[in-house]
Amino acid sequence: AQKITQTQPGMFVQEKEAVTLDCTYDTSDQSYGLFWYKQPSSGEMIFLIYQGSYDEQNATEGRYSLNFQKARKSANLVISASQLGDSAMYFCAMRENPNFGNEKLTFGTGTRLTIIP
């Protein structure tokens, strides 16, 4: 079974609108972390935002926020006031309860976001 599911292969959004990228996850661990990365066409993976499983408040970083619904096992990324530079591939990833020194990330298949002027 997929541990990270991103159901939107591609999205087109008008500039300045808000956009929500969906991510659901599957784990039996109590302690885990959820991450979002942005990958522009240049290829670099850029860290955007982190949410820990014990965090009671949704994470926010500038225009990025994470809508964390633990019971539903979802961790959607919300980008407010989208800009042309937001056009990229977006990956959701999960770090399950790691053995010390055995850190691993599991990535979803990604969502390609295109911002339309």
Partner 1 sequence: DAMVIQNPRYQVTQFGKPVTLSCSQTLNHNVMYWYQQKSSQAPKLLFHYYDKDFNNEADTPDNFQSRRPNTSFCFLDIRSPGLGDAAMYLCATSRLGEGRGTDTQYFGPGTRLTVL
Work out whether 107 is an interface residue with partner 1 (CB under 8 A): yes
- The alpha carbon dihedral of 30, 62, 90, 102 has a sign of negative
Name the residue type at position 59: A
Q: Quick check: 57 binds partner 1 (CB under 8 A)?
A: no
> Which C-beta is closer to partner 1: that of 38 or that of 76?
38
25 scored as a contact of partner 1 (CB under 8 A): no
Contact residues for partner 1, defined by CB under 8 A: 33, 35, 37, 42-47, 50, 52, 54-55, 91, 95, 98, 100-105, 107-110
